[in-house]
Amino acid sequence: MCNTIESSHYKPKEECGIFGIYGHEQAANFTYLGLYALQHRGQESAGIASSDTHHIYRYAGMGKVLDIFTEYHIENLKGTMAIGHNRYSTTGSSFLRNAQPLRAESRLGPIVLAHNGNLINTEDMRRKLVDEGSIFQTSIDSEIIIHLMAKSGYNDFKDALIHALKQLTAAYSVLIMNREKIYACRDPFGFRPLCLGKIDGAYAIASETCAFDIIDAEFIRDIEPGELIEIGPNGIESFYPFDNINVKKQSLCVFEYIYFSRPDSFIFGHSVHEMRLKLGRQLAIDSPVEADLVIPIPDSSISAALGYAMESGIRFEKGMTRNHYIGRTFIEPSQKIRDFGAKIKYNVVKSAVKGKRIILVDDSIMRGTTMRKIIKMFRNAGATEVHVRISAPPTKYPCFYGIDIPTKSELIASTHTIEEIVKYMRVDSLAYMTTDSLLKAIDRKDMSFCNACFTGRYPVEFVQPEDENLKFQFDAGNGEFY
C-alpha cells in the first residue's frame, strides 16, 4: 500500500506564503530564495512571475521551490520586479492550473496575483460575475479579485484594485503586479501577516521576515491591516482605502504565533520564538506537573517546551528525533507496523526517557491519532509517566480564513471532553491553555486576535451557501489532474 504521509493531517496546514520585490536586478532570484525560506507555508506548488515593464514572465510547477526552478527558469524570469507564491492545498484541487501567481489579460492590461488567505462570502459576487458572463478558469477563490478589477469600470489600475478589494471582507494578504508596479495589501482584519523590507534601495514584501534574512534584506515594518502599498518607479506610497478601520476589529491569526510561522520570523511586530517561550511559561504556570523531563514534539514545539522547562525548572530533554528525509508518499508494508504513521516521521530517544516521568509539549492536537501513537512510543520506550501539555487552547472549530483545519467532527477536542481524550490517548494527564491564558501570555494590548478555531467566535461571519446550484463554482478544476 502506498500512502501519503500527510494524510494523517497531524498538523493544520498553512495555505500559502508570498514574496515580492521591486527594483532589484536580482528580482527573480531573490523571490526564489524568499519562497524557499517560506517553504513551510506551502509545499504543493510554487510559482514566480516577473516583469521587465514590457512583458510579464511566469513559471510555476508542482512540488517544492528548489525542485521546480532551474537556472534556465530564473534567467528567463526577466526584469527587476517579481512576485512569488508557495501553495498548500487540499488534495482534491492539487493540480498545476491552480498554482499561483495567477495571471490574466484584462482591460487594465496583464494582472498577476499572489494571494495568501481565503476569501469568504464571495458566493454572491461570484454568482453575479458569472451571471454577467464572466468565466472562471481555476478553482481557487483568488481568481475573483482579478474579475472584480476587470469589471470595475475604472481605468486606473489602483482604483480598480481598491474597488475590488472593497467588495471583499477577508481574509487576504495579497500581492498584485502589472507591467510597471507591485501592490501589496492586507485586509482590514489583518488575518494573515505581511511584512515590508528593504535591500539595496529595493523594496521587498514577504509573509514572514525569515524571507528577508536569507537575502540580507532589512525588515522595515509590517504592512498594517487595511493598508495598501504601491511600489513603482516613483518609490513607495501607502494608502488606507478602507473605512472604519480600527484596532478593535483586528483579527490577527493567533495560530501564526502558536504554530505556523517560523520561530526566527517576526510576525505582527514580535518575535515568534519569544511568543512561544511565553506560551510555554504560561502553560507551566497554569498546568504544572511533577516530572523528570520536558520534551518537545520536534520541531515546532521546541520553543514552547523551552519556555515550559524554564518556568517549571524541569529539565528540557531531546526525547525524539524527526526524520527530515520525508517525501510525499512512502510504501507501507502489508504487515502492519505499530504506529507506523508516527514512526515514519519520529523516533523516541529511548536512553533519554527510560524510567522517566515526562511532559510532552506540543502546540496543538487535531484528530489526536498521531499524538496517541507518539504517547505509545514513549510508553514502549520505558517512560513511567506521560503528561501532555498543549501550548494553546483546544482546537474545536475549523478556520475559514486561510488555514486548513479538519472539520468539527474530526477535531477530537470538539467531539470529546478532556477526560475522554486522556482515556483515548492513555496519557497520565493532559492540559491545554485557556483562551484567557493565551492572551495573557501573548500580552499584546495593542492588537486583537482571531481565536475562532478555539472559541468558534468568527470575527467575520461566514455564510454557508445554501443553494446547491452555487456549488458549480467548485467544479472548475475538479477532475483536473496533474
CB 78 → a second copy: shortest distance, Å?
Answer: 8
H or E stretch covering 210 = helix 210-213
Q: Which is nearer to a second copy, 236 or 352 (CB)?
A: 352
Calculate the alpha carbon distances from 470 to 131, 134, 474 in Å.
12, 15, 9
Catalytic residue from among 2, 16, 399, 450: 16
Instruction: Report the C-alpha gap between 89 and 17 in whole angstroms.
Output: 12
CB-CB neighbours of 39 under 10 Å: 16
CB 72 → a second copy: shortest distance, Å?
Answer: 9
CB 451 → a second copy: shortest distance, Å?
Answer: 23
Q: Which is nearer to a second copy, 43 or 448 (CB)?
A: 43
Q: Which is nearer to a second copy, 105 or 436 (CB)?
A: 105
Q: Which is nearer to a second copy, 145 or 231 (CB)?
A: 145
CB 447 → a second copy: shortest distance, Å?
Answer: 17
Work out the angle at residue 171's Cα, subtended by the Cα atoms of residues 169 and 175, and round it to the nearest 5 degrees: 105
CB 71 → a second copy: shortest distance, Å?
Answer: 5
- Look at residue 17 and give its three-state secondary structure: strand
- Which own/partner contact pairs does 215-222 have at CB distance under 8 Å and 24+ positions apart? 215/30, 215/33, 215/34, 219/195, 219/266, 220/195, 220/196, 221/195, 221/196, 221/269, 222/193, 222/194, 222/195, 222/196, 222/268, 222/269
CB 22 → a second copy: shortest distance, Å?
Answer: 16
Q: Which is nearer to a second copy, 233 or 333 (CB)?
A: 333
Please indicate whether residue 16 is annotated as part of the active site.
yes
Q: Which is nearer to a second copy, 319 or 393 (CB)?
A: 319
Angle between helices 143-150 and 157-166 (to 10 degrees): 120
* H-helix segments, 1-83: 27-37, 65-68, 71-76
**C-alpha cell belonging to residue 127:** 454568482
The catalytic residue positions are: 16
